[in-house]
Each structure stands twice: as C-alpha cells, then as structure tokens.
Structure 1
Amino acid sequence: MNAIFYKEWIKTRWYLLLALLMTLGFAGYSMLRINRVVNMKGVEHVWEVMLTRDALFIDLLEYIPLLIGILLALVQFMPEMHRKCLKLTLHLPYPQLRMINLMLLYGLSALLICFATNYLLMGVYMQHILALELYSRILLTALPWYLAGIAAYLLLSWICLEPTWKRRVFNLVISALLLRIFFLAPAPEAYNAFLPWLAIYTLFTACLSWSSVARFKAGKQD
C-alpha cells in the first residue's frame, strides 16, 4: 500500500501543490471580498445583503473544485494509459481491485485534504464576523460544489481507465449529465435536505472505474 501511494505521490505532487495554492487563493480572495465590504460599509451591511438578497460572496469558488477534481484524474491516470503502465501495474502480485481502490483512495484523500483546508480557512475567518447561522449558510451552500469536485475526479478516472475511445465518449456524456445534478439549484442551501444522499451518490461513482478496469483486463481496445 505504501508503495502504491508513493507511486501516485510521485506523479501528482506538483499538481497537488498547485491545486492547493489555487483553491486557497480563490477562497482567500472571497474572504477579502467580504473584508472589503466590512471595511467600506460595516458588518451590518454584510448581514443585510445575505439575509435580503441571498448574497454569498464566494460565487467565484463554484466551479473551482470541479476543475480541480477533473485535472487530478487526468494527471493521475492519463500517464497510466498513455504509457501503457496500467497493464504492468495490474500484473503486480497484488489484488487488482484493491490496487485500483488504493489509487482512487489516494486521489480522494488528496482532494479531501485540499478541500478541508479551504473550509478551514473560510470557517476561521467568517466565524469572527458572522453569526453561526450565516457562515454555516455559506459553507453548506458550497458543500455540493466540493462534492462535485470529488464526483468529477471519480468520473474522469472512469473515463481515463476505459480502454476504448468509443466508450470514453459515451462515458463522458454520462459524466456531464451526472455532474449537472450538483448545479441544478443555485439558491443558498438548496441542497441541504439532499446532502446525505448526494454524498452517497458521489461515493457510488467510485464503482464505475471497476467496469473500465474489467474491460481493460478483458482485452477491449480500439
């Protein structure tokens, strides 16, 4: 397990650093927007626009986790397919399904650390100027965006591991439709009641990669 994690770390370490800096940069900029409004018009104005206009001040973050998840899957799995490394990896004396699960677990762990750091930054800042009900409103509204980043990683992994281009195109269309679910309701906290099911639905997408690996092992190719 340590060897698999180390192999994945070697492939993705520079991208993960860039992803962390990028997400922290956008989260930090969003906090600066709130700070600017506080300095110019007072914290009371922030409360007012949040309550009367459904303002969130973190709109710039909406598609950033999605992009981060997509790029991580490409960085992690495209070299495996392009260099024909996956076949060698699956022939190692280790259960194949467990091997793929560990590779996906590595990516999920990296994303969770990156996204949790974002949440920590925003939570620590906002709890000093906003009531619990207001800053939890912002964080709960953003949660589906971060779940979309995790789902995007798992779905793009499914596409990258698929050995035939025809099926990759089909998987891409299905993935786009599935990811659209995370952005159907733009209203703040619109997904609150659905969040547990959305999390389960997100984790379920990890199973899709197994079908691609099974097709690869069966010799399917263009």
Structure 2
Amino acid sequence: MTLTAYMVSAAALVSTQAPAPAGAEAARSPFVERLRMLAQLQSLNADLLSRDSATAVLQTLCARRDPNAPPIRARRLVVTANPEQLAEVRRELGAAPDEPVIHRRVELLCGAEILSRADNWYLPSRLTAGMNHTLNTTDTPFGVAVQALRFQRRTLTSRLLFTPLPTGWETRVAADFDLASPPPADVLEHRAVLQTPDGHRFSMLVEVYTNQIFTR
C-alpha cells in the first residue's frame, strides 16, 4: 500500500471511532503514535528512493529539526574484512580481480544523533585524487565527497525492519492498537549502487537507518 493510501485509510478509520481525546491525551494515544511513525518511515523511504544522495535526504531531515544544525558528518568505524562480501561487490561493480576496493563503514550523525550506519565499498581508481584524499582524511560523507561526479543512485533492495501497524490494520478499530509499539534500534535497510551518468558503477552501499529518524 502506498503512503497516500495509508493516510486515506487512516483518516477513514479514525472517523469511525469515538471522538479522540483533545490536546496532550490525543498526542499520547498509542494508535496515533503508531500512525505517526508509519507516516515518517514511509516518507523517508520514498525520499531515499527518489533521490540520488542519501546524505542530502538526511541533511533535509536534520535541518527540519534544527535550521541551524551543522552538516551531517560521517564517523568512521572499524571494518572487519569479509571475502564473500568483497566478491559480491566486485561482481556488482564490474571490478577487475586485481582492482583495489576500499570498504568504508560510517555512522551518519545529525548533531549527536546517529541517523544511519552505512557500509560503502568503492573503487578509488574511479574517483579523483582529491575525492580519495577527502575520504581518507576527513569525516565528510561519501555522497558529499563525490558529488562532483553527478552520480546516480540505483536502489537494489529496500526493506522495512519495523512495521508500526501490521498488514490489514486499516480494517480494524483503533482500540486494537492501544498498546505502544516502541521501535527497534534499526527500522529501514537499503542496498544500492552509485554510478556516473554514463553508467559506470563505482560504489556499493548497505545503509541501515536507526530509530533516531523519528521526530519526537
């Protein structure tokens, strides 16, 4: 079901219920809270699917919370080598057997909040020397560092890791959702490749978005 359909169904369901409590009580309703998280999750997923830069999507989300927020930054994490993953990356990117592949794992932060974790395998030979220097020496997000390539994002898979409301919820009464549904640590996963406008792939990504993407 599309986000628009979800919201139409929600409106129809709410209209059939008894009048909702006003003010703070309504804001504390578990059903309203679940619906709010569902809308935010579907909106983020749609934005990621329609944009070439995940960093730009997260920057927009961060700026909505605080117009004076600093740029999204990438905090480097230690990476454990995985030969099977590397073989998959080489196939996906069309890399030669002896072509160097760099694995960069980061947390993308809005202030102190971790919005996502990303594993990024990329081919340094397909980037400029300046881009490689930036990636090796700074906390600049990958999408920002390589933006001069005018890259395009091709999503391979998009998977919800959290469903605030189950399938068929729109046919049930709001009272069925009186229990809170706290989100897990991770709520959304994307796998994607980045390529230049002429179709040359240079990066494969696995991104996991955390429950910090939800506004309070």
Q: TM-score, normalised by structure 2?
A: 0.27
Higher helix share: 1
